[in-house]
Chains A and B, each alone.
Chain A
Amino acid sequence: MKIEANRDICIGAGNCVLAAEDVFDQDDDAIVEVLEDHPSPDQETEVRNAVAQCPSGALSLVDD
């Protein structure tokens, strides 16, 4: 499982950081930064929550 983040459509709501702090961060303008694009299996639930809670649709999960 790989996380893809589209920084052009991110609106900086920060929901992903709150859902999965070890996986997502924000730059100084609040735009998403992926800290770990291949999350570990024990992070999968919180990463799926983060993707579901993203208001802009900037986050997606792809099979690698």
Chain B
Amino acid sequence: MSTTTHQDPPPVPRHMQRDRFAPLPETQAVRDEPGFPTFTTPFGATARLVTRYADVREVLGDAARFSNTGLPRLPTPDGEDGIDPRAGNLLATDPPEHTRLRRLLTGEFTVKRIRRLEPRITEIVDDHLDAMAAAGPPADLVGAFALPVPSLVICELLGVPYDDRAEFQGRAARQIDISRPLEERGRVAMESRAYMGELVDRARAEPGDDMLGMLIREHGDDITRSELVGIASLLLIAGHETTANMLGLGTLALLRAPDQLARVRDEPDAVAPAIEELLRYLSVVHSGVPRLVREDTEVGGVPVAAGELLVLSLPAANRDPAAVEHPDDLNVTRTIAPHVAFGHGVHHCLGAPLARAEMAVAFPALFRRFPTLAPGIPFEDVEFRSATVVHGLRALPVTW
């Protein structure tokens, strides 16, 4: 049981702030400094910031030395809702527990399975473009397209009623808003679990053709109610908060680079590499889950001690000149450099094939439907998110 009493959230750490698309210059400068500087996390813990590409890959790639368990977390009244807040949360487990949980799900996210979803993703994209066209300009691209498309896709895949979106999108946004008090975020996380608990109970009584139904039919004896709630809650939030922000930020970035936008619109073979470049350039997840050092060791020759927390700056790593030439330029024609936007190691994003498929459908379809698409306000006035776990735009007014 948490007895945290402070109400004010800690200040937003530097690595979670951006200069529009880019990490702050101070964060980028950390790459050139020896060692890993310390700072205070949104949970009030002391951590060390890792920014170099090779170091980030080393930490993320070694679950034996760097653990995802035992981390500070949102204060919630444990057990009050009968749901263990850590159960089923793939991001808060290590192998072999993590391996068992992840393998229950990986079959749903194979490249082949996701390809079978593409016709439905295309329909969903087209429906939203039709609605935008019918309503006429101007529109908020985030509210009309970038957020609803991945939300509807993950709802159908998972078995969550899309009619509940106002509530679950609102809760997700509050949960990852680090400007809110930890207690509030913890309470909202508990409300999310209660909601998912109801859906899980309904699915157990009558399993559908969706992922929840599959988990219950095929693995019902191996998986607890708490684990089902944890898995489904994570997939729901991860399934829409990430791709939605890639679509919003990616559209803005491409609108500012018309030659590159034209390639994405007109050249089918240019789409996949362009998406990898947008993932690298935008790196919407600032840092993912910190890692706890299990034993005294070294990272890139720098000593780190057992019990220390390491926070990995994914955008800084993805703009490391040691790994990418002209890293601060968006260049959709560059030869694909392996980026860490989806993480690395055993916790690499489970939904990556789905996110890539959604973007591969959505970007070209948007630019083909509205060839004259343009920002509705000056770039300087576009509102970027400022204190969230996932970077993005608050809104993107567009016209055509």
- Contact (Cβ within 8 A) B348 A30: no
Neighbour of B106 across the interface among A30, A55, A57, CB < 8 A? A30
Q: Is B255 an interface residue (CB 8 A)?
A: no
User: Which residues from B are CB-within-8-Å of A52?
Assistant: 338
A53 CB contacts on chain B under 8 angstroms: 336, 338
Interface check B107, CB cutoff 8 A = yes
Q: A12-B110, A26-B111 are in contact. Are A18 and B353 (CB under 8 A)?
A: yes
What residues on B are CB-neighbors of A56 within 8 Å?
A: 345-346, 348
Offer 27 A-B interface pairs, CB within 8 angstroms, sorted by A: A11-B102, A11-B106, A11-B346, A12-B102, A12-B103, A12-B106, A12-B107, A12-B110, A13-B342, A13-B352, A14-B109, A14-B353, A15-B348, A15-B352, A18-B272, A18-B356, A21-B111, A28-B110, A29-B103, A30-B109, A31-B106, A55-B342, A55-B344, A55-B345, A55-B348, A56-B346, A57-B61
The CA of A26 and the CA of B352, in the complex, are separated in Å by: 15
**What CA separation (Å) do A8 and B344 show in the bound complex?**
17
Given contacts A15-B352, A56-B346, 17 further A-B contacts (CB under 8 A): A11-B346, A11-B348, A12-B109, A12-B110, A13-B353, A15-B348, A17-B111, A18-B272, A18-B356, A29-B103, A30-B106, A30-B107, A55-B343, A55-B344, A55-B345, A55-B348, A57-B61
Q: Contacts of A12 on B, CB cut-off 8 Å?
A: 102-103, 106-107, 109-110
Query: What total of A-B pairs shows CB separation below 8 Å?
Result: 60
**Which A residues are in CB contact (< 8 Å) with B272?**
18
The B interface, classified by DSSP as helix, strand, loop or mixed, is helix
Scan residues 301-353 of chain B and give those whose CB is less than 8 A from a CB of chain A. 336, 338, 342-346, 348-350, 352-353
Known contacts A30-B107, A56-B345, A14 near B102 by CB under 8 Å: no
Q: Output the residue of A17, A29, A52 with the most chain B CB within 10 A.
A: A29
Q: How far is the CB of A53 from chain B (nearest CB, A)?
A: 5
As a 0/1 sequence over residues 1 to 24 of chain A, the CB contacts with chain B under 8 angstroms (1 = contact) are: 000000000011111011001000
Answer whether residue B112 sits at the interface, using C-beta atoms and an 8 A cutoff: yes
Complex interface residues of chain B between 348 and 364 (CB less than 8 A to chain A)? 348-350, 352-353, 356
Q: A: which residues have CB within 8 A of B?
A: 11-15, 17-18, 21, 26, 28-31, 49, 52-53, 55-57
Please measure, in the bound complex, the distance between the C-alpha atom of A21 and the C-alpha atom of B115, giving whole angstroms.
Answer: 13
Q: How many angstroms from the CA of A21 to the CA of B353 in the assembled complex?
A: 14
**Chain A residue nearest to B109 in the complex (CB):** A30
Interface centre among A11, A26, A53 (most CB of B within 10 A): A11
**How many Å lie between the Cα of A15 and that of B349 in the bound state?**
11
B81-135 CB contacts (< 8 Å) to partner A = 99, 102-103, 106-107, 109-112
A29 touches B346 (CB 8 A): no
- Whose C-beta in chain B lies nearest to the C-beta of A26? B110
The list of the 5 closest CB pairs from A to B, nearest first, reads: A12-B106, A55-B348, A30-B106, A17-B111, A14-B111
By a CB distance below 8 angstroms, the chain A residues around B110 are: 12, 14, 17, 26, 28, 30
Residues in A whose Cβ lies below 8 Å from that of B338: 49, 52-53
A46 → chain B closest CB, angstroms: 10
Whether A28 lies near B107 (C-beta < 8 A) is yes
| A21 neighbours in B (Cβ, 8 Å) | 111
Given the complex, which residues of B lie within 8 Å of A57, measured CB to CB?
Answer: 61
Complex CA distance for A52 and B57, rounded to whole angstroms: 11
Q: How far is the CA of A18 from the CA of B110 in the complex (A)?
A: 10
Most chain A CB within a 10 A radius of its CB, from B102, B107, B110, B344: B110
Q: Tell me how far the C-beta of A13 lies from the nearest C-beta in chain B, rounded to whole angstroms.
A: 5
Which residues of A lie under 8 Å from residue B353 when comparing CB positions?
A: 13-14, 18
A3 to chain B, nearest CB (A): 17
When chains A and B are docked, how far (Å) is the Cα of A52 from the Cα of B106? Answer: 21
How far does the Cβ of A26 sit from chain B's closest Cβ, in whole Å?
Answer: 5
Q: Across the interface, which residues of B come within 8 angstroms of A55, CB to CB? A: 61, 342-346, 348
